Amino acid sequence: MVLFPAFQAIDVFGRLVVLNILALQRPLHTSLLSSTLEPVSTKPTVMNVSGSNFCEPIVPTHTFDAPLEDLVVLFVPGGIETRGEALVAPAVEFVGKMYPRLGYLVSVCTGATIVAKTGLLFLTVASWVQLHSKFDHLHYSALAYQPLIGNSPGPNANWIPQARWVADGNIWSSPGVSTGIDVAYAFIAALYWDDVAGGIANSSDCVRWLDPNYDPFAAVWNVMK
């Protein structure tokens, strides 16, 4: 799991909760990866609009330059400041360096912009557009955040507006926040079998989202045009 400043908590923990339950049934190993071993926080740095002091710091287990020889699946979360180039630059470099060695890459929300910035060619959903429209909805100052929302999400990414998740070869992505849980179940169903995902969902009192094309939020955020 890649970490960077102002990561979205559910993009990290939504999937880890599902995988934690899978790890009770099968031997799995997890690494929380960051530039340094200092705690990484969900606290917004640039986009501190409300002046809140509300955040959750977590402690990485490995740095981006650790050997990580047995890394098979790399999960990339999104976050409110992923368009801030400097904040995510180490994560972009790490994802680009690791991709040729990976079995799978699974991003959530604006984590796809980190994958896109590596130059990888892949099909993904429009978290970038959705986030843009969310800012408008919240009346955030477009002027103040123009440098953050204006950056190109990546030269080779093909963005589609509506999907709950997309699997393109070994790169999986989903548009935002709670969808990270849905893509985790779909990913487990694809790698193991459906009853493994179904059993974890039942044990979590979770209703699985089974249709990757059913995305009512594309209409809510008006990204269909």
Ligand X SMILES: *[C@@H]1O[C@H](CO)[C@@H](O)[C@H](O)[C@H]1NC(C)=O
Task: List residues binding ligand X (CB under 6 A).
Answer: 43, 45, 48, 51, 53, 195, 198-199, 202
Q: Which is nearer to ligand X, 48 or 156 (CB)?
A: 48
Minimum CB distance to ligand X, residue 146 (Å): 20
Q: Which is nearer to ligand X, 195 or 211 (CB)?
A: 195
- 95 and 89 Cβ atoms separated by less than 8 Å: no
Distance of alpha carbon 144 from the chain centroid:
24
Q: Name the token pair of 118.
A: 């590596």
Q: Which is nearer to ligand X, 25 or 45 (CB)?
A: 45
- 107 and 2 Cβ atoms separated by less than 8 Å: no
Q: Which is nearer to ligand X, 87 or 105 (CB)?
A: 87
Minimum CB distance to ligand X, residue 208 (Å): 9
Minimum CB distance to ligand X, residue 102 (Å): 28
Minimum CB distance to ligand X, residue 17 (Å): 17
Q: Which residues contact 163 (CB under 8 A, 6 or more apart)?
A: 125, 174, 175, 212, 213, 215
Sheet holding 104-108, edge to edge: 73-76, 104-108, 171-174, 166-168
